[in-house]
Amino acid sequence: MKHQNNAVHWMRTVRHPALFMDMRLGKTLTVIRWAVGAGLTRVLVVAPRTVLQAWADELDREGEAYTIVEGTPKKRRFLARCTAQEYGQPACSRRWFLIGYETLRCTPDIAGVVVRKTDKRTFVNPVNDGCDWDAVVLDESTKIKNPKATITKVCTRGFRGVPHRVILSGLPAPEGLQDYYSQMQFLRGGFMNVGNFWAWRAKHFHSDDGWTWYPNAGVREAITDRIGQYAFVMTRQEAGIGERRVRQRRHFGMTIDQRKAFVNARDQFERKVDGGVELTKWAMVRFQWMLRASGGMSPDGQHVLNSAKFRELVNLLTGELKWQPVVVWFHFNAEIEAAARILWDAKVRAFRVTGEIPVDQRHERIATWGEVGGALLIQEKIGQFGIDLAAADCAIRFSHGFSQEVWNQSRDRIVHPKKKRPLLDIDFITSNSTDDAIVDLQNMKRLDARSVLVRVLDREDRP
């Protein structure tokens, strides 16, 4: 497509490019064509495990040789160091190496670093420049947005001698401007002339309480200027393939038991369990209990306190959405199990996809669902990366989590560049619960997360 050709031409002008292109605009194929045109022979792709198969499929279509780096640590190191000759190919042959973020974290010497842990800290130190690679590509590069994470340190402190470093993301700053730093540090060794995240934050942000940080005057504009230099930005609308969306909210009241469980979690930091009451002092645990209650489950996930959302799901799938492939997103596995039982009792096809199911079986279930229709009941983090759900034109969000990145990624899984049919998004919302606040918050965060990219698109000198 035209925007992909434009991206390839731009990548040839930048040593360490970033592709900030909306989901389903073909970032994978763009990188492959760029690497082929540049004559690169050893390219390492780091991606979430669920995305690796999508890379393998695209490389197969392009006739490119690849190796998935997995297995024991010894086997991973062997696979990563193999040359074309060891595969029985000419020395000039190109080969792609695909590795998951978790696998790289557990085999850091592939990046040229060593990890040493103490009781209080994790130290990541370079042992070589990691220049065995012609290029290193970080797909879904927000995986390294947390500067404290070991995988972030492995990526930013490793690979320093690699001729080309590339990052790919549809929404590079889902939770705020600070998400940009580590991704830019991987590309360029720092950001805005500062080589350390904490020094960068102290210089360009301020905080009243030490927890929430706000950009100083002019910082958003400065970040926009740098992103405009380092990244190729493209939205679906800009590419001329924007989809039409219809959004609906369906509200549900609380039952007495549900309200009691929600209020006890919110105000008393407690939940009922078999044989008594459990208390917590942790705010995040309390929020999880409140989220479960908002979805209609007991805070321990064992019982259905309000079946209203489940009944509405049955009504939709036996009524106006009957026989259609429909994606239903859940925050908790317990909700999926309850929904599956209720749908099966109502003679509705339902396919479960959770982290407990092996990856190959997930793909089999998704393929079957796309052919026969029904409900795909999927945990939101499992469907966050590398899954094509474009067989559906409707997505229902049964329950809601706080992560903007997860919300945005899952939201666009039913999108396809060639799809002309309108898309239907339905939010199930329990009134006077966390659902109301989260849905509004996610929409606000999405607008803020895209603000820098929109400003880049408005620049006259953008790529």
User: In Å, what is the CA distance from 371 to each residue of 163, 364, 374?
Assistant: 44, 11, 9
Q: Are residues 206 and 123 in the same domain?
A: yes
Domain final position from 240, 257, 282 = 240
CATH number (domain holding residue 111) = 3.40.50.10810
Q: Are residues 120 and 17 in the same domain?
A: yes
CA pair distance 426, 396, nearest whole angstrom: 5
Q: Are residues 277 and 414 in the same domain?
A: yes
Which range marks the domain in which residue 353 is found?
245-451
Q: Are residues 251 and 232 in the same domain?
A: no
Q: Token pair for residue 431? A: 């009134």
Q: How many domains does the chain have?
A: 2
Are the CB atoms for 30 and 60 separated by under 8 Å? no
**What does each of the 463 residues of the chain score in pLDDT, given as a tens digit?**
888 999 999 999 999 999 999 877 889 999 999 999 999 999 999 998 878 888 998 999 999 999 999 888 888 888 887 764 555 555 556 789 999 999 999 999 899 888 888 877 888 888 876 678 999 999 989 999 999 999 999 999 999 999 999 999 988 888 889 999 999 999 999 999 999 999 999 999 999 888 889 999 999 999 999 999 899 998 877 877 766 777 888 888 899 999 999 998 888 887 877 667 788 888 888 888 899 999 999 988 888 999 999 999 998 898 878 888 999 999 999 999 999 999 999 999 999 999 888 888 888 999 999 899 899 999 988 876 767 888 898 999 999 887 777 777 777 788 877 777 778 888 898 988 888 888 877 777 777 777 777 777 776 555 5
pLDDT at 190: 93
What would the pLDDT profile of 128-141 be if each residue is shown by its tens digit? 766 789 999 999 89
pLDDT at 87: 56
Q: Token pair for residue 93? A: 């042959």
E-strand stretches of 221-339: 231-234, 245-252, 270-273, 276-279, 325-330
User: Which amino acid, one-letter code, is at 18?
Assistant: A
Are the CB atoms for 246 and 427 separated by under 8 Å? no
Q: Are residues 192 and 253 in the same domain?
A: no
CA pair distance 328, 381, nearest whole angstrom: 13
Q: Are residues 80 and 150 in the same domain?
A: yes
Q: Are residues 231 and 277 in the same domain?
A: no
Q: Token pair for residue 302? A: 């064992």
Q: Are residues 26 and 159 in the same domain?
A: yes
CATH number (domain holding residue 350) = 3.40.50.300
Provide the whole-model pTM: 0.71
Using DSSP, state whether 461 is helix, strand or coil: coil
Q: Which residues are CB-neighbours of 25 under 8 A, at least 6 positions away?
A: 1, 3, 4, 170, 234, 236, 239, 241, 417
pLDDT at 305: 92
Q: Of the candidates 248, 247, 285, 239, which has an alpha carbon nearest to the alpha carbon of residue 266?
A: 285
Indicate whether 459 belongs to any domain. Answer: no
Q: How many residues does the chain have?
A: 463
Indicate whether 462 belongs to any domain. Answer: no
CA pair distance 447, 452, nearest whole angstrom: 10
**Which residue do the tokens 């927890």 mark?**
211
Indicate whether 262 belongs to any domain. Answer: yes
Q: Are residues 230 and 253 in the same domain?
A: no
pLDDT at 251: 87
Q: Are residues 196 and 266 in the same domain?
A: no
Helix 283-295 × helix 256-263 angle, to 10°: 170
From the number of C-beta atoms within 10 Å of its C-beta (0-12, 13-18, 19+), residue 307 rates as: middle
pLDDT at 83: 61
Indicate whether 194 belongs to any domain. Answer: yes
Dihedral angle, C-alpha 296, 299, 303, 305, nearest 10 °: -40
Q: Token pair for residue 410? A: 């899952």
Q: Token pair for residue 443? A: 């929409």
Helix ranges restricted to H, 308-431:
308-318, 333-345, 359-372, 404-411
**What backbone torsions phi and psi does residue 328 show, to the nearest 5 degrees?**
-120, 120
pLDDT at 336: 94
Q: What is the DSSP string of 97-136?
A: EEEEHHHHHH-GGGGTEEEEE-SS-EEEEESS--TT-SEE
**Which residue do the tokens 């040493």 mark?**
116
Indicate whether 93 belongs to any domain. Answer: yes
Q: Are residues 280 and 393 in the same domain?
A: yes
Q: Which residues are CB-neighbours of 91 under 8 A, at least 6 positions away?
A: 83, 84, 85
